[in-house]
Chain A
Amino acid sequence: MNAVIDIRDLYTRFGNNVVHDNVSLTVQPGEIFALVGGSGSGKSTLLRAIIMLLRPVSGSIRVFDREVIGLSDEQALPLRRRWGVMFERGALFSSLTVTENVSMVLREHTKLSARLIDEVAALKIALTGLPADAGSKYPSELSGGMRKRAALARAIALDPELLFLDEPTAGLDPLSASGIDELVRSLRDALGLTIMMVTHDLDLLWRSADRVAVLGEGHILGVGTMTELSNSDHPIIREYFYGPRGRAAREQAWKRK
């Protein structure tokens, strides 16, 4: 099977600040792939380049075997229907209720009846673990964790094959965060998704990620499973995984095994 995402020699620059220099990586179907790295290492920028919100200077990004760099909006539409994106701060439409946020995507891209759309929207909201009464609320009335779940419900509205998550657990309490861990795994298992996420959350990495790429200094410093990476010699990777928090998360993960 071909890789879902295939990035070759990506070069991105803002002014004189080089963000990505020769970045290459692939994401295989059905895997949970995580991008990590310090603040400002270009994780979110890479994500934005893949979902066509930002145009890199040079290089190639292929998603579902289609080159995405330089696609017009019209050409990109079939691709965009096949992936869902959950933004870091939710990016829910503030003038719509949660249900309307989810059903709007369905209304826009399918020919289903209004009743079925409402039911499917309610189902997605339930799948993300939100209580049923959350559907009629506006995003400003929700807590941070509920907003994340609602954003996830909108991201999976069209049953995408590929899901992008930007910091899915940032700003959540440990309980909600571990709920998101399980949610990510169960969604992958139930719906057969490929998931690419950007995260800082070491617990989430140990529990959910199949493969992890570490970004730093504009390059990919290492790719592999968490166990492989934690045996790496690279100083930045070691610092990342063997800081006090990294060690605690690792011990947790060992205990669970």
Chain B
Amino acid sequence: MTDEQIAQLVIESESVSATAAVEVRCAGAWTVQGIARLERRLEVLSWPGEGDLAIDGSAISALDTAGAWLLHRTMRALEQRGRNVRMNGLRPEFSALLQLVASRPVTPESTAPARAGLLTNIGQQTWRGLIGMSGMLSFIGESTLILLRSLVQPRRIRWRPILHNMQTAGFEALPIVGLLSFLMGFVIAYQGADQLQRFGANIFIVDLVGLSMLRELSPLLTAIIVAGRSGSAFAAQIGTMKVTEEIDALRTIGVGPTEMLVLPKMLALIIALPLLTVWADVAGVLGGMLMARSQLDVSFDVFIDRLGDAVSLSSFLTGIGKAPVFAAIIALVGCYQGFQVSGSADSVGRQTTVSVVQSIFLVILADALFSVVFNWLKI
């Protein structure tokens, strides 16, 4: 930047006597882009003499509010030290601006509030957790009530959004669920092949792949994919609607947001997730079959022949039976977190993250509980 484009301040007469006025000359562009260097200089500048100051502003070529503020601040600081400051030669439009700036009371906000102590933090976190849990419980209760009411009066069920959600959360997830499940079956067979071959128990690859996929892995895998794909979408959609006051609008029209937004999503997932799980079963077994043929010389028809004996109907059904529960968890957590959004775009992001983490956590927890219960019941 040339000298013309930056703000300058020159102390002309460094008079030693305390009585004579100190002359100060301001020049250049006192603008937001030009005052940066001058500001740093002013911080450390020591003003000579004790007496009055005369500032000559005739050489200021440009002045904006930031520059005017710096000038005003400097003058005010000098006045507070008991020195008289006079301003000369400023262009009329610049002095009008200086006056405008001087007329506004400016109190920059104080710094952030003091940080809370450890105990306070623990207390607040715990309290927040409890509030969140009770909120979640009452949300589950409310949704269940509305679900029951809809089941009693099936005419109230909104089929169109249910079908739409089945399309987006179910049908459109087919490729990714299929691919991942296929790879999962493939990998399990590959890992098992080595061990089984050592004992000459090649045919048991069918039991390994069939049982682990159908009973455990494909319901879990499908639920986790859907939680990441659709649970987050539910939270983000409802959260954004909350920010734009669409939820409030629904209430004023007399449509319950739970009935309109939560129920269709929950019903759609409860229908779609078991179907997706069957699809994942098929893809996983297919992956295992391919690997079994190439590594263990178990041909397709032998594999399928054995599959009927290895996997009982109850094993298949326990796998499918878990899916609706997972679906309810994903939909409820996603929607609940969406309703927890407050005001800002940041909050939408935060609640979406929380919804995915929570629903995956709860899905795995529920899966563990199922294992324990099935063990008791000897299914």
Contacts and interface: CB of A to CB of B under 8 A. Distances in A.
Interface string A98-116: 0100000010011111011
Nearest to A141: B343
B32 A106 contact: yes
Contacts of B65: 120, 123-124, 127, 156, 159, 191
A126 B104 contact: yes
Given A110-B32, A159-B32, A120 B346 contact: no
Interface string A117-131: 011111110110000
B346 A94 contact: yes
Interface stretch (A34-42, A132-140, A239-247): A132-140
Interface in A12-59: none
Nearest to B70: A116
B35 interface: yes
Q: Interface centre among A121, A126, A135, by most B CB within 10 Å? A: A126
A140 B97 CA distance: 32
B66 interface: yes
A124 B343 CA distance: 24
Q: Interface centre among A94, A115, A121, by most B CB within 10 Å? A: A94
A147 B269 CA distance: 40
A243 B96 CA distance: 40
Nearest to B103: A126
Contacts of A121: 108
B33 to A, nearest CB: 6
B346 A126 contact: no
Interface string B100-118: 1100111111000000000
A123 B106 contact: yes
Contacts of B344: 94-95, 138-140
Nearest to A94: B344
Contacts of B104: 123, 126-127
A199 B342 CA distance: 31
Contacts of B352: none
Interface string B362-375: 00000000000000
A192 interface: yes
B106 A119 contact: yes
B31 interface: yes
B378 interface: no
Nearest to A95: B346
A138 B101 CA distance: 25
Q: Interface centre among A110, A115, A116, by most B CB within 10 Å? A: A116
Given A119-B73, A120-B32, A190-B97, A94 B345 contact: yes
Nearest to B348: A94
B93 interface: yes
Size range of the chain B interface in the assembly: 20 to 34
Contacts of B73: 119
B66 A120 contact: yes
B234 interface: no
Contacts of A110: 32-33, 36, 66
A4 interface: no
Contacts of B259: none
B93 A138 contact: no
B259 to A, nearest CB: 26
B31 A159 contact: yes
Given A95-B344, A132-B105, A191 B32 contact: no
Contacts of A115: 108
A135 B32 contact: no
Contacts of A122: 106-109
B73 to A, nearest CB: 7
Nearest to A132: B107
B36 A191 contact: no
A113 B100 CA distance: 23
A163 interface: no
A214 interface: no
Contacts of B40: 113
Q: Interface centre among B64, B70, B93, by most A CB within 10 Å? A: B64
B243 interface: yes
A141 B346 CA distance: 15
Contacts of B100: 127, 190
Given A119-B69, A120-B65, A138-B343, A126 B106 contact: yes
Interface in B37-92: 39-40, 43, 64-66, 69-70, 73
Nearest to A111: B36
Interface in B130-189: none
A251 B35 CA distance: 47
Contacts of A124: 65
Interface of B: 31-33, 35-36, 39-40, 43, 64-66, 69-70, 73, 93, 96-97, 100-101, 104-109, 243, 342-347
24 contacts: A94-B343, A95-B344, A106-B32, A109-B33, A112-B36, A112-B39, A112-B66, A113-B43, A116-B70, A118-B108, A119-B106, A120-B32, A122-B107, A123-B65, A123-B101, A123-B104, A126-B104, A127-B100, A136-B109, A138-B344, A140-B343, A140-B344, A159-B64, A159-B66
Given A110-B33, A127-B65, 4 more contacts: A113-B40, A116-B69, A121-B108, A135-B109
**What are the 8 tightest A-B residue pairs by CB atom distance, in nearest-first order?**
A140-B343, A94-B344, A95-B346, A159-B64, A111-B36, A126-B104, A118-B108, A122-B108
